[in-house]
Amino acid sequence: MHNEGDRMKVEKEEIYIYLENDKAFSTNQSLRESFIGEPKGNKIYLHPIEVLYLANIRKAKVFENRQQLSLSQVFQRFYSAGIFARYNVYRDWKDRGLFLTFPERSRMENFGKTPIKKYPSKQFSFQANFPIFFVKEECYSLAFGKDARKFFEEYWFGQWGVYKNIERGNLLTLDAIETLYLSKKGVETIDVSSNKKMPFEDVLREVEKKIPYASRMLEIYEDWRDKGFILKTGFKFGTHFRVYFPGVKPVGGKKEWQHSKHVIHVFPKEVSMPMSEWSRAIRVAHSVKKTFIMAIPGMKKEDYLKEKTPIDFVAWHRKSGNEVERPSKDSPSFLILSLNEDENLSGKMLASALDRADELGLRLLIAINDRETSVTYYLANRIELPGSEHKYYEIEWFTP
């Protein structure tokens, strides 16, 4: 039977939890050992997710007003929109023998556990002594002559000839974002159909008819290009750009075509992305052994103040040697944002969550719960790109 020491409090309603299989401990002591609930005096305050976990996984008997609740009644009693995805992440983390709690129970200070990856940069400038001819119906441009070929070989803008076969053809093809960048930098841009010069603003207007967030993509492209990086289309890898570090040329010294090791996906603050699409993009990049970089352009200080993405959990992990971190003596390692595979996440929401993790000196885990209750984790590592006003993160699969 339960006793007065086993009384729990949930949302101002008192209930009793009795763990039938606990022989060595009272229920209260067992919960304290498991870091479940928030002890206050002789009571433990439980979050609804913890009640669901105890009832479903630990087979706890739940009593309310001296009446035992069935499992279905427990779920009905404590259900709220979105709770099942959060519950399932909580259950998965606990099943791995790890500890987690809710942000309101944790002290919020900087724990100094946010590793920052520093990317190199190189001063970049170029000269283009030829015009580019813009094909507005298809959003690309062409350039001709020896100067255009030399420009390609020197700076790796566009594609001379055919991909991986530069001797097959005699023109330079530039994609939409490359065209915008060169036009913005002052390269003479001519409408191929009218033979009239086009200002950058007109080129951008035409491109955005086909690519709605082209200006955001240009922001990221320009940020990296101006620092010496080479950005090419990432279409084959399900992303916006593939990235080469400063100093790379189209063809190596042994006439071998260069291969990128990084890709960038532009996630504008105004855009919402289904988590299924998020997962696919990262999976494709990882399947070809490329680092997936998430770029979130357009965020301002006021955006972070207005958009406060709720963080679901503060979590402890493992130390070296596989020893488990414990809340009683170790600081946490992660913040966890939990979603299901059908939910949408906006660039602004993700940026806000990442910013919160940076403030606390913790790493952000994005936990995606699928329809079979499997949970996939993605870890965000912040990138420092010297002189950049944008935020970038490497996103990788993570197995707790």
Q: Would you state the pLDDT for residue 157?
A: 94
CATH class of the domain at 84-124+227-400:
alpha beta
The residue annotated as part of the active site, out of 259, 300, 306, 308, is 259
The C-alpha atoms of residue 377 and residue 386 are separated, in whole angstroms, by 29
- For residues 181 and 178, what is the distance between their CA atoms, to the nearest angstrom? 5
CATH annotation of 126-212: 3.40.1170.20
Strand positions, DSSP E, 227-343? 230-233, 241-244, 262-266, 272-274, 291-296, 313-315, 334-340
Q: 3-state DSSP call for residue 158?
A: coil
CA distance 198 to 212: 20
| Per-residue confidence (pLDDT) for residue 131, from 0 to 100 | 96
- Shortest CA distance to 174 belongs to which of 195, 189, 194, 193? 189
What's the pLDDT score for residue 252? 52
CA distance 101 to 31: 13
**Predicted confidence pLDDT, tens digits, the chain (400 residues):** 233 334 344 444 556 666 655 544 466 777 888 899 888 877 788 899 999 999 999 888 888 877 888 999 999 988 888 899 999 999 999 999 999 999 988 887 888 888 888 888 888 999 899 999 999 999 999 999 999 999 999 999 999 987 777 777 789 999 999 999 999 999 999 999 999 999 999 999 999 999 989 999 999 999 999 999 999 999 888 889 999 988 887 765 455 556 788 999 999 888 888 888 888 888 888 888 889 999 988 888 777 777 678 899 999 999 877 889 999 889 999 999 999 988 888 888 888 888 889 889 999 999 999 988 999 999 998 898 888 888 899 999 899 8
Closest CA to 395 of 284, 297, 303: 284
Task: Reply yes or no on whether 265 is catalytic.
Answer: no
Give which of 126, 355, 147, 393 is closest to 266, Cα–Cα. 393
- Annotated catalytic residue 155: no
Phi and psi of 162, rounded to 5°?
-120, 150
DSSP 8-state code for residue 156: -
* Residue keyed to tokens 């707790």: 400
pLDDT at 107: 83
pLDDT at residue 20, as a whole number: 58
Q: What is the structure's pLDDT at 303?
A: 74
Active-site hit among 290, 317, 348, 391: 290
Q: What is the CB neighbour count within 10 angstroms for residue 64?
A: 15
The pLDDT value recorded for residue 365 is: 95
Amino acid at the residue 353? A
Q: What does residue 33 show for φ and ψ, rounded to 5 degrees?
A: -65, -35
Q: 293: closest CA among 380, 389, 400, 398?
A: 380
**Cα 258 from chain centroid (whole Å):** 27
d(C-alpha 269, C-alpha 240), whole Å: 16
Write the CB contacts of 392 (distance below 8 Å, at least 6 apart in sequence).
Answer: 264, 293, 294, 295, 296, 382, 383, 385
According to CATH, where is 3.40.1170.20 located in the chain?
4-80, 126-212
pLDDT of residue 319: 86
CATH placement of domain 4-80: 3.40.1170.20
**10 contacts 37 by C-beta, under 8 angstroms:** no
CA atoms of 108 and 329, how far apart (whole Å): 16
Give the strand pairing for 189-191 and 132-135. parallel
Contact 246, 121 (CB under 8 A): yes
pLDDT, position 23: 46
Q: List every span in the chain annotated with CATH 3.40.1350.10.
A: 84-124+227-400
Bridge partners (DSSP) listed for residue 243: 231, 262
**What does the block give as tokens for 100?**
């987690």
Active site residue 317: no
Residue carrying structure tokens 């010069």: 197
Given the residues 119, 244, 378, 392, the one annotated as active site: 244
